[in-house]
């Protein structure tokens, strides 16, 4: 991840380690997600990473409701 972030910003990994913070990681995550979304949209692939039912099951599991239906991460 450090290498990818350093390449994106055109800095040395050592500079990134000294000067970077979690905001840089968040920006990289958003940028990569947006690029993947645009690429998938252009190629006619589904832009959704999860099915809506999976998201509900994951939320229930996170809330401790114990609904262990077919949600796989």
- The pLDDT tens digits for 20-40 are 999 998 999 999 989 988 988
Q: How many CA atoms are closer than 13 Å to the CA of 50, on its beta-carbon side?
A: 12
Q: How confident is the model over 4-21, as pLDDT tens digits?
A: 889 988 999 999 999 999
Whether pLDDT at 42 is above 80: yes
CB 16 within 8 A of CB 6: yes
Looking at residues 48-60, what average pLDDT do you find? 81
């Amino acid at each position: 991840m450090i290498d990818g972030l350093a390449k994106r910003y055109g800095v040395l990994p050592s500079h990134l380690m000294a000067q970077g913070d979690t905001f840089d990681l968040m920006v990289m995550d958003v940028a990569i997600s947006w690029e993947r979304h645009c690429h998938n949209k252009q190629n006619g692939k589904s832009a959704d990473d999860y099915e809506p039912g999976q998201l509900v099951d994951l939320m229930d599991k996170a809330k401790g409701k114990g609904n262990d239906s077919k949600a796989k991460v």
